[in-house]
Chain A
Amino acid sequence: MSPKTPPQPAEEPLHYPDVLLRRILKEVRTIAMVGASANWVRPSNFAMKYLQGKGYRVIPVNPGQAGKKILGEMTYATLSDIPGRFDMVDVFRSSDAAGAIADDAIAIAAEKGIQVVWMQLGVRNDAAAVRLEKAGLIAIMNHCPKIEYGRLFGELCWSGVNTGLISSKRRKLAS
């Protein structure tokens, strides 16, 4: 193996500093959600509805639903079909499929203003993350933006989850 391409072993735990996640969640306004489901009981639909409630615009990407609306937003078949600009891609697809989605995002990043590709809980593609970072994008893997938003902005602790946050300052309320 060439030392120039050190793929991380899949077992290596991922850790993203809270300050990075907080910044992403504060600065991003528009999210393209690849794999958004029209079925209201699916996790992607849960996450989309939650993020909408927190003030994000979420644009669903799902070829099977193209031309139809999910939670009030028009669905597109691919990222490049989305007419306007968007800050982040949220990947609700398999780890394998995440590679091609990352490459699509890299190809249109400058035109669309994409800064972050965020792969959902259970989705991890280390090679794609390396390509994204080489292209100047931020890659987050195996995390859920809904859960991280809840954790960092004081809602997840209501469910008894260990948020890892320790502070003697007043807890900040979510928007």
Chain B
Amino acid sequence: MSRKPHKSANAPAQYGFETLAIHAGAQPEPITGARNTPIYQTTAYVFEDAEHAADLFNLQTFGFIYSRLTNPTVAVLEERVATLEGGRAAVCAASGHAAQFLAFFTLLEPGDEFLASTNLYGGSITQFGHSFKRLGWNCHFVDPSDPENFRKALTPKCKAIFIEVLANPGGVVVDLEAIAAIAKDAGIPLIVDNTIATPYLCRPMDWGADLIVHSTTKFLSGHGTSMGGALIESGKFDWAKDGKFPTMTEPDPAYHGLTFYETFGDFGFTMKARTVALRDFGPAMSPTNAFYTITGIETLPLRMDRHVANALKVAEFLDGHAAVKWVSYAGLKSSPYHQLAKKYLPKGAGSVFTFGLKGGYEAGIKLVETVNLFSHLANVGDTRSLILHPASTTHRQLTDEQRLAAGAGPDVIRLSIGLETVDDLFADLDQGMPKAGMSKAGMPKAGKK
């Protein structure tokens, strides 16, 4: 065996994002050579013998048992998402909400607390504020506009901080690096929901995030076809440092006394989320949805470039429209979040944002109902452009104060800009605006940057 020095030798191959979006996790299948990832539409996998079965159930060896835990198609998506986020490992789930559940079940015990930004998807605010409370997990909501607010809100029982970098319903960018530093000082993980930005626009782990969750239903899958979620771990968080995370560092009675961090090291959190939370609660992603999502991710860089280009043009069009009162898009120079967007989202501030009409609530409802290309529905990150009135839908279960804090007040309209011809989007919005305030911008803007 050669004894040449090795440590300074070649670093891991540094492939570009576009290459990884196509290749990560997806080597040709070993038996047939199938180039595309097959849909392994199977519930279970035969064991070699009784001992192999026992080894698998004991986690003594790697392999497949049952598709609630692992599936070869889903595993390709998991490795791909982990790679694109710069993480060590990932576990997929049936939805983004399910991925959040897996994260918190793996972190928290009843009576524990965590901090979450007030600027979140409304469904997350409801999940954290109401449903998690019934499990004894107590969330304190924090205004993220000053990162120090998180430090002030910390309690001894706080086990995590949760934010969206580019927040839904739109236009708000949170100071990721500053909040990551506060989480690090407190010895707790920073969890980032990166759904709206995607790893193409922002990689939160590069700024200090420890865990990332996704609704893969949105831009990653990208075509409005497939539900899914993902939980990614950086592999850099020290779970053993001060005894705050016994679920990771003490023998687990749900696994014959196995200690996850010691046994699996930098992917121990993912192993525990999969083999305890996913096993026992069951929100597994289907292999078919994984396949559609894998295929979607292959064009993520191309789609995101067009999404953000169209979004900026539509935001500028609205900003110049006589019927529009305000536009909240961090890509606009006038946005208070423009500097943060330049730092964290240099390729573009996403394609989900909000605006309000001078005609207020009534004019907004009319626009939502009269558009012909924009689809009135509760989703984001489709190839199609989408429109929604958050106060009556996604943020419906919140109090008036919570809605205002989340940027979903009564006059707010949310857009998710798709990949259509941008002139057609201008025309569709313009025809639904109050006629009294005829467009001062008009069509000529279409050709502008």
Bound form: Cα–Cα A116–B6 in Å: 13
Which listed segment binds A: B56-64, B133-141, B148-156?
B56-64
Contact A160 B82 (CB under 8 A): yes
What string of 1s and 0s marks CB contacts (under 8 Å) between A160-173 and chain B? Answer: 11111111111111
The answer to whether the Cβ of B421 comes within 8 Å of any Cβ in the partner chain is no
Contact B1 A166 (CB under 8 A): no
- Once A159-B270, A160-B90 are accepted as A-B contacts, the answer to whether A150 and B1 lie under 8 Å apart by CB is no
The docked-state distance in angstroms from the alpha carbon of A157 to that of B1 is 28
- Is residue B30 contacting chain A, with contact meaning CB distance below 8 A? yes
Interchain CA distance A70-B27 in the complex, whole Å: 37
B55 touches A161 (CB 8 A): no
Tell me the complex Cα distance, A116–B55, Å: 28
- Point out the residue from B24, B60, B62 that lies within 8 Å of A166, measured CB to CB: B24
Name the contact of B60 in the complex, choosing from A49, A163, A164, A169 (C-beta under 8 A): A49
Give the most central of B29, B30, B60, B75: most A CB within 10 Å. B60
A14/B7 in contact, CB under 8 A: yes
Is A23 an interface residue when CB atoms closer than 8 A count as contact? yes
CB of A166 within 8 A of CB of B82, answer: no
When distances are taken between beta carbons in the complex, the residues of chain A under 8 Å from B13 are: 164, 166
The answer to whether B27 and A165 touch across the interface, beta carbons within 8 angstroms, is yes
Which of A41, A122, A166, A167 interacts with B258 by CB under 8 Å? A41
User: Which A residues are CB-close (under 8 A) to B267?
Assistant: 159, 161
What chain A residues lie within 8 Å of B55 (beta carbons)? 49-50, 53
**In whole angstroms, what is the CA distance A28 to B7 when docked?**
20
| Contact residues in A for B176 (Cβ distance below 8 Å) | none
Q: Does A91 contact B (CB under 8 A)?
A: no
A17-B274 contact, Cβ under 8 Å, with A157-B75, A169-B28: no
Distance in angstroms from B87 CB to nearest chain A CB is 6
> What residues on A are CB-neighbors of B60 within 8 Å?
46, 49-50
Evaluate contact between A155 and B63: CB separation under 8 angstroms. Answer: yes
B129 within 8 A of A: no
In the complex the two chains form, is A167's CB within 8 Å of B9's CB?
no
B33 at interface (Cβ–Cβ under 8 A)?
A: yes
Question: Which among A15, A161, A171 is the interface contact of B11 at CB below 8 angstroms?
Answer: A15
For B399, what are the chain A residues with a Cβ–Cβ distance below 8 Å? none
Judge whether A170 and B33 touch: CB under 8 Å.
yes
Interface 1/0s, chain B 1-22, versus A by CB < 8 A? 1110111011111010001100
Interface residues of B in 42-90 (CB under 8 A from A): 55, 58-64, 70, 72, 74-76, 78-79, 82-83, 87-90
Question: Which of B3, B72, B263, B270 contacts A161, CB < 8 Å?
Answer: B270
Contacts of A49 in B (CB 8 A): 55, 60-61
B384 close to chain A: CB less than 8 A: no
Interface hub of A49, A116, A154, A166 (most chain B Cβ within 10 A): A166
In whole angstroms, what is the CA distance A50 to B55 when docked?
9
User: Do the beta carbons of A53 and B2 come within 8 Å of each other?
Assistant: no
What's the nearest-Cβ distance from chain A to residue B71, in Å?
9
Among A58-66, A100-108, A130-138, the stretch in contact with B: A130-138
Cβ contact within 8 Å between A166 and B15: yes
Interface residues in B244-293 (C-beta closer than 8 Å to A):
251, 256-259, 262-265, 267, 270-271, 274
Q: A161-B82, A162-B87, A171-B27 are in contact. Are A23 and B1 (CB under 8 A)?
A: yes
A residues less than 8 Å from B74 (CB atoms): 160
Residues of B within 8 A of A160 (CB): 70, 74-75, 78-79, 82, 89-92, 270, 274
Bound Cα distance from A50 to B264, whole angstroms: 14
Chain B residues with Cβ below 8 Å from A27 are 1
Residue of A whose beta carbon sits closest to that of B271? A159
Q: Total interface residues on B, using CB and 8 Å?
A: 58
Flag if B61 contacts A53 (CB, 8 Å).
yes
Q: Please give, as numbers and ranges, the residues of chain A lying within 8 Å of B358 by CB-CB distance.
A: none
B25 contacts chain A at the CB level, 8 A cutoff: yes
Partner of A46, one of B87, B89, B263, B265: B263
CB-CB nearest in chain A for B92: A160
- Is A137 in contact with B28, judged by CB distance below 8 angstroms? no
Determine which of A41, A53, A136, A150 lies in contact with B3 in the assembled complex, contact meaning CB atoms within 8 Å: A136
Complex: chain B residue closest to A166, CB-CB: B23
CB distance from A120 to the nearest CB of B (A): 9
Residues 3-23 of A contacting B (Cβ, < 8 Å)? 14-18, 20, 23
Cα distance A36–B40 in the bound complex, in angstroms: 38
Across the two chains, which residue of chain A brings its CB closest to B52? A53
| Interface residue? A67 (CB, 8 A) | no
Say yes or no: A43 contacts B263, CB within 8 Å: yes
Q: How far is the CB of A115 from chain B (nearest CB, A)?
A: 5
Among B7, B88, B257: residue with most chain A CB under 10 A: B7
CA of A154 to CA of B15 in the docked complex: distance in angstroms? 20
Report Cα–Cα, A165/B19, bound state, in Å: 12
Least Cβ–Cβ distance between B287 and chain A, in angstroms:
13
Set B3, B7, B88, B271: member contacting A162, Cβ < 8 A: B88
Give 12 new A-B contacts, CB below 8 A, not counting A150-B62, A160-B91. Answer: A27-B1, A122-B265, A136-B3, A137-B3, A138-B1, A155-B62, A158-B62, A161-B79, A166-B15, A166-B19, A168-B27, A171-B27
Q: Report 15 cross-chain contacts, Cβ distance below 8 Å, ordered by A residue.
A: A15-B7, A18-B12, A24-B1, A50-B55, A53-B61, A138-B6, A158-B64, A158-B75, A159-B274, A160-B74, A160-B274, A162-B83, A162-B88, A164-B12, A170-B30
Residues of B within 8 A of A (CB): 1-3, 5-7, 9-13, 15, 19-20, 23-25, 27-30, 33, 55, 58-64, 70, 72, 74-76, 78-79, 82-83, 87-92, 251, 256-259, 262-265, 267, 270-271, 274
Nearest first, the 9 closest Cβ-Cβ pairs linking A and B are A160-B78, A155-B62, A171-B27, A162-B82, A161-B89, A121-B265, A43-B263, A171-B30, A17-B9
